[in-house]
Structure 1
Amino acid sequence: MPKAKKRKAPITNNFIADPSSSKPQASRTLIRRFHVLLKKKTQLEQLLSEGADSKRPNPGLAEAKLSLNEVEHEIEELGGLEAYQRMSSIGQGNDRGGGSEKYLISWLKEIKVHEICQREKRRHLLLEVGALKPDNYRSCTSWIDATPMDLKSRHPDILEQDFLALDQSEHRARWDTISLSLVLNFVPEASDRGRMLRCAHNMLKDGGYLFLALPLPCVENSRYLTFEHLQLLMNSIGFNELKSRWKQGGKMVYYLYEKTSPVQTETDFSKKRVLRAGNRNNFVVLLRD
């Protein structure tokens, strides 16, 4: 009788990062691995869901269930979403350059938003999606009214909420600015990333602003996304780029967009299209109905 094939142990068993570690490499390793696992978990759950709806027998479902259990176990070993949040929070420390909110605040001041608010005696309504700290905008409370939100709140003042599950009619044209800092790249499905951007457009007031921060390789080294393609995609949703910041060899890219009317384009954003050859990552944003 042939021996049963031994399953490979999760590769993270060799380098599980200590969530309390503040080493940049440990943080990046944990975050990258968590992204891979979450995407695989979503794919397996979708496969099992489709299999359950089918009347045809599918011997691959048992294997998929086993794989899903292994993925969920590895996620648990890594500390789950809470560990990811801790690593990201460490990365926002002043010793690492501070959080991305400093760029948003600076840009809003450059376009005189603070002066407009003071003149009109009102505060700028900002929805901060993926907030790891409750007080990122405490220095601007005289003119910014920030609502921090995250999938799993780490503080009583952070609203625990899935952005994609927000009531669209309730939030339509409600916000002056929406911040998606290191959020879009954490969404497992490419079509949900597109849906997130469309939801943000719907929730912003006319002339409102979207702040988008991504790891630079998502745009600079993707097989399916380039700077030019991202610009066309954002224009098609109805976002006009006002500001951008990144540097060659850097880790992040930051954008500030203004909500406008969607621009018609001949580019099909509903399907993947290889834009660069070579050894690239697979990050992509898809727009589907």
Structure 2
Amino acid sequence: MTIKKRSRVTSLAAGRPPTARKPKSISRKATKALINAHHVLEKKKAQAIAKGDRAAEAAIESEIDALGGIEKYQLASLQGQRLDRGGDSSRVLMEWINPMDPTALYSKETRLKMLEVGALSTKNACSASGVFDVERIDLNSQSDGIIQQDFMKRPLPNDDSERFDIISLSLVLNFVPDALGRGAMLLRTLDFLKQPSMQYSSGLRNFFPSLFMVLPAPCVTNSRYMNESHLESIMNALGYMKVQSKITQRLVYYLWVRESGVQLPLKTFRKTELRSGRSRNNFTVVLPGSSG
């Protein structure tokens, strides 16, 4: 008697978004190569759009699709958040603020609001801390707890009830394909942060309102047009002051506290060579300045 093979049963998880499934492991080398390839292609795509070259734009879009699209990029980014790959970047933020006065930090009456731009997970350290009410947005949401939204097109807040105590830009600024767009993103963070004021208790005033920023380390340590002091000058011109920083082989972490308004007239920051050498990358931030 012939025994029929059982047909494979498809699990419920098969129909869920990619982040609901257990991610297939990607090697560190493959993860880095995939992320770098996406960054290069997105930059070329932005250049094609700026030139109005529809044929080039379509060709580049096909290359991005061939790599797996934004979904594969997000999978690589999530893979990079595994503990054995350096882990969740928001753990660094929590290490910085945990020594603060716990009475102020965990107060239900003064619950701190966070806007996480480019969110990939609803279970990171900030979400689990009990410190923040977190609103998460991403261009391509992979979870029910993340709103699909472009930060640059997010409606401006009407009042302080719609503003935030802290904004997280973890591995977001480097994904913006052009330097002028990065400057515009940093300027836009000011629209969504609360104003520096005496409303914060003494236990919170040194850390909020603030911007948590994470970048690949080479953006600052090996760029032809960017270094630590240049980045700090740009942030200072926007009214930010660096209160915490950490540099590892892979990433740089910053906590910038908003201490004042934009310095007017806003200083112009152009694409200027700061380091020479063929091995340098071209990451930078451009601010067009103002006439006052």
TM-score class, shorter-chain normalisation, is: 0.7 to 0.9
Q: Structure 1 144/130 Cα, relative in aligned 2: closer, same or farther at 3 Å? A: same
Deviations 1:62-99 (A, max 9, x none): xx443322211110111111110000001101222311
| Percent pairwise identity | 40
State the Cα deviation string for residues 170-208 of structure 1 (Å, max 9, x = none). 376710110000000000121111111111122111240
1:139 deviates by 2.5
- For residue 139 of structure 1, what is the aligned residue in structure 2? 128
> Could you say what secondary structure the match of 2:94 adopts?
helix
SS in 2 for 1:168: coil
Whether the 8 Å contact between 1:168 and 1:199 is mirrored in structure 2 is no
Query: Mapping of 1:1-289 within 5 angstroms?
Result: 20-48=24-52, 64-112=53-101, 114-119=102-107, 121-136=109-124, 137-141=126-130, 143-170=131-158, 174-205=163-194, 206=196, 207-247=208-248, 250-262=249-261, 264=263, 269-279=268-278, 280-288=280-288
Where do 5+ consecutive residues of structure 1 fail to align? Answer: 1-18, 49-63
Farther off after superposition, 28-37 or 121-130:
121-130
* CA deviations over 1:105-127 (Å, ceiling 9, x no partner): 11122344x43143463321111
Per-residue CA deviation, residues 246-268 of structure 1 (Å, 9 max, x unaligned), is: 14xx0100000100114759995
CA distance in structure 2 between the partners assigned to 1:149 and 1:77 by the alignment: 25
Structure 1 pair 201–281 and aligned structure 2 pair: CA distance change class (3 A): same
SS of the aligned residue for 1:122 comes to coil
Within 2, Cα distance between the matches of 1:269 and 1:167?
A: 26
**Mean alpha-carbon deviation: is it higher for 271-280 or for 64-73?**
64-73
Report the CA distance between 1:288 and its aligned residue: 2.4
Rounded Cα–Cα distance in structure 1 between residues aligned with 2:233 and 2:252: 17
Provide the C-alpha distance between the structure 1 equivalents of 2:158 and 2:69, rounded to a whole number of angstroms. 31
Match of 2:224, SS?
Answer: coil
Distance 1:35 1:103 in 2: 25
For residue 12 of structure 2, what is the aligned residue in structure 1?
Answer: none
Per the TM alignment, residue 271 of structure 1 is displaced from its structure 2 partner at its CA by: 1.9
**Does structure 2 conserve the Cα–Cα contact (< 8 Å) formed by 1:235 and 1:262?**
no
1:213/1:255 contact within 8 Å kept: yes
Alpha-carbon distance in 2 for matches of 1:109, 1:81: 34
CA distance in 1, matches of 2:154, 2:127: 25
**Can you give the 5+ residue segments of structure 2 that lack an aligned partner in the other structure?**
1-22, 197-207
Counterpart of 1:53?
none
Confirm or deny: 8 A CA contact 1:45 1:68 kept in the other structure.
yes
C-alpha separation between the residues in 2 aligned to 1:243 and 1:177? Answer: 14
* Compared CA separation, residues 107 and 124, structure 1 to 2 (3 A): same
Structure 2 counterpart of 1:179, which letter? S
TM-score (norm 2): 0.80
Instruction: Report the RMSD for the aligned CA atoms in angstroms.
Output: 2.1
C-alpha distance in 2, partners of 1:274/1:261? 29
